[in-house]
Amino acid sequence: MSEQLAKKELDINVEYLTRVEGHGNIVINIKKGIIEKCELQIIEAPRFFEAMVRGRSIFEVQHITSRICGICSTGHCMASIKASEDAAGFKPSEQTNAFRKLLLHYETFDSHLLHIYFLVAPDALGAKSVLPLVATHKDVVLRALRMKKQYSDLCDILAGRHTHPITCCPRGFTKLPTQKELKAMRDILKSQEDDLMITVDTIKSLAPKLPAFERETEYIALTHPDEYAFLDGDITSTDIEGAIKPIDYRQAIHEYHVAHSTSKHSKNKRGSYMVGALARININFDKLNKLGKSVANTLGFKTPCYNPYMNTVAQLIEIAHCYADSLAIIERFIKDGVDYDQVVSSWPRVDEKESFSCNSGKGVGAVEVPRGLLVHDYDIDSKGIVNNANCVIPTNQNLANIDLDLKKLVPEFINKPKDEITLLAEMLVRAYDPCISCSCHMLDVKFV
């Protein structure tokens, strides 16, 4: 223990941490240099989603689990649909997968953008929130609002709305975009290129100001042989040889419960691991498309990167990647056309209902959502009714890693004034972009 640390008394208690999604406290107690407490406490009201979906049909379960979280609703929708389809034995078409990928891209860049501009930028610009920035950096605020509105318009076209998408359901989409709508989406994206590049410049100027802190940890993300995995892939860890099939997710993800949190924690080989943009890029950097790689280059981003504050930079690289990939998907459908015969009804129609039956048993859907790997795991009967459910939430998987980061961070910066340490701790938690509504969904708890 360093001499300064040995004398140190520190008592930090950030109640209801702001600019994160959901309710959490940061508590740091150091008595005579000994860290007594250094943790992120989760105090979100439990909602018992596992009980909520029990006895419900797979045709409404994605509607329910989407409500776990307003920011990640599309991600939950996708993981839920994939788990239901896996269990029921439905195989989505190639077209359906392409549009799902597109919708997931929209959520990824919208969520990353929210994080970069509304949650992180105020810290970097020395403001308490985005509101004072209206006076000091109006162009930045207007750009952020403009870009968010455009993403919301894109989601309106493809999914009916951004929060809790309407059109995507098991078996496919209830509505598919017309040629006019495809062109409208393309034009919106194209009109955004300048704003995106200015965002890269903004982050480039802010990135050097991010705290210099590193802690190497285990990184887990989906991988796919042909692409930067979001919608499909196998679970890959920097600590394990080979990839794990989604259905075997418990081989890598061990969930457990701790006293200071109403959310589950996760670990694999070590005390913790990280999921999210930084984990994905550390594992899948070579699968980024040209624009993603060029933005990484502009930002001077190199893998492996062990600085959790750089998660924000990794998010921006993913925005660029998703931007280019979205345009490619849309251009393809403008060129090749859309098969509108694939429109489905959200529930079996009355004529299908009598004879409706599906495979029964277990199904797992694993998807990369903005904050990391999300797994939904259902047991269903042959009528498609869910008997049991488990969801593994990205933020839960990161909680143990955040605690360990805090425990390394605080001693390293112990000579700084309390206010500064508090801010560093808050910024660290925010860098993970935690989504506490998601984390505290209160599903099956596994002890190891």
- Interacting positions 115-154 with another protein (CB under 8 A): 118-119, 122, 128-131, 134, 141-142, 145-146, 148-149, 152
d(CA 377, CA 446): 14
Shortest Cβ distance from residue 182 to another protein (Å)? 16
H/E stretch holding 62: helix 58-65
d(CA 67, CA 51): 14
Q: Pick the binder of another protein from 154, 169, 296, 366 (CB under 8 A).
A: 169
* Residue 212 within binding range of another protein, rule CB under 8 A: no
Q: Which residues pair with 420 in a beta bridge?
A: none
Q: Pick the binder of another protein from 114, 116, 222, 283 (CB under 8 A).
A: 114
In this chain, which stretch among 66-74, 201-209, 212-220, 319-327 interacts with another protein, using CB under 8 A?
Answer: 66-74
d(CA 115, CA 413): 25
- Site size toward another protein, by CB under 8 A: 74
Task: Name the token pair of 34.
Answer: 């000994």
* Residue 445 within binding range of another protein, rule CB under 8 A: yes
Residues 23-42 that bind another protein (CB under 8 A): 23
Shortest Cβ distance from residue 177 to another protein (Å)? 11
Contacts of 187 (CB under 8 A, 6+ apart): none
Residue 61, Cβ density class (10 Å: 0-12 exposed, 13-18 middle, ≥19 buried): buried
Shortest Cβ distance from residue 290 to another protein (Å)? 30
* Residue 228 within binding range of another protein, rule CB under 8 A: no
Q: Residue 167 in contact with residue 158, Cβ under 8 Å?
A: yes
In this chain, which stretch among 49-57, 101-109, 178-186, 414-422 interacts with another protein, using CB under 8 A?
Answer: 49-57
Pairing of strands 24-31, 10-14: antiparallel
**Which string of x and - marks every residue 337-366 that binds another protein (by CB under 8 A)?**
------x-xxx-xxx-xx------------
CA dihedral 263, 264, 270, 274 (to 10 degrees): -60
d(CA 433, CA 401): 13
* Residue 418 within binding range of another protein, rule CB under 8 A: no
In this chain, which stretch among 163-171, 278-286, 357-365, 374-382 interacts with another protein, using CB under 8 A?
Answer: 163-171
Residue among 174 and 360 whose Cβ is closer to another protein = 174
Q: Residue 52 in contact with residue 64, Cβ under 8 Å?
A: yes
Shortest Cβ distance from residue 179 to another protein (Å)? 17
Residues 381-410 that bind another protein (CB under 8 A): none
Shortest Cβ distance from residue 90 to another protein (Å)? 18
Q: Pick the binder of another protein from 64, 124, 188, 247 (CB under 8 A).
A: 64
Residue among 157 and 373 whose Cβ is closer to another protein = 157
Candidates 68, 88, 95, 80; CA nearest to 342 is: 95
Q: Is the peptide bond before 308 cis (omega within 30 degrees of 0)?
A: no
Residue among 5 and 158 whose Cβ is closer to another protein = 158
Residue among 367 and 442 whose Cβ is closer to another protein = 442
Residue among 260 and 407 whose Cβ is closer to another protein = 260
H/E stretch holding 221: strand 218-223
Sign of the torsion formed by the C-alpha atoms of 111, 114, 115 and 117: positive
Candidates 246, 235, 240; CA nearest to 270 is: 240
